[in-house]
Amino acid sequence: MPLLPSPAAARTLAAIATGVLLAGCSASVSVGKSEPKLSADELATTVAGKLADTTGRPTPDITCPEDLRGKVGTATRCTLTADDGSTLGVSVTVTSVEGNTINFDIKADDAASPSPAAN
């Protein structure tokens, strides 16, 4: 039987997910390359900042596995990790590209995954 994240972590992740869903979170980033691309680290920082701004909560720990190419429809999955190790998936999808500016939507999953240590 899988264990659920701690109540405090579950509330934090739920607040982030709810805030992102209600706000229709999106972001724009300008990059200075001939083929717009946002590095995985820059994407993680931007997503974390946008989530914090949207939810009014502290900046979460976000990791993204790959760079985001500036092509409409390109998508990647980032991961938000709570203090107890539980995680929440975050989808990032490019909605438009204007010159060197990549516009994208951010959507957090509805439910968190428990910490691997809890299994």
Q: Write out pLDDT tens, residues 30-67.
A: 655 567 899 999 999 999 999 999 889 899 999 999 99
User: What confidence score (pLDDT) does residue 112 get?
Assistant: 85
pLDDT above 90 for 81: yes
Q: Which residues pair with 106 in a beta bridge?
A: 92
CA distance 110 to 19: 11
What average pLDDT is seen over the chain?
80
CA distance 83 to 85: 6
Amino acid at 12: T
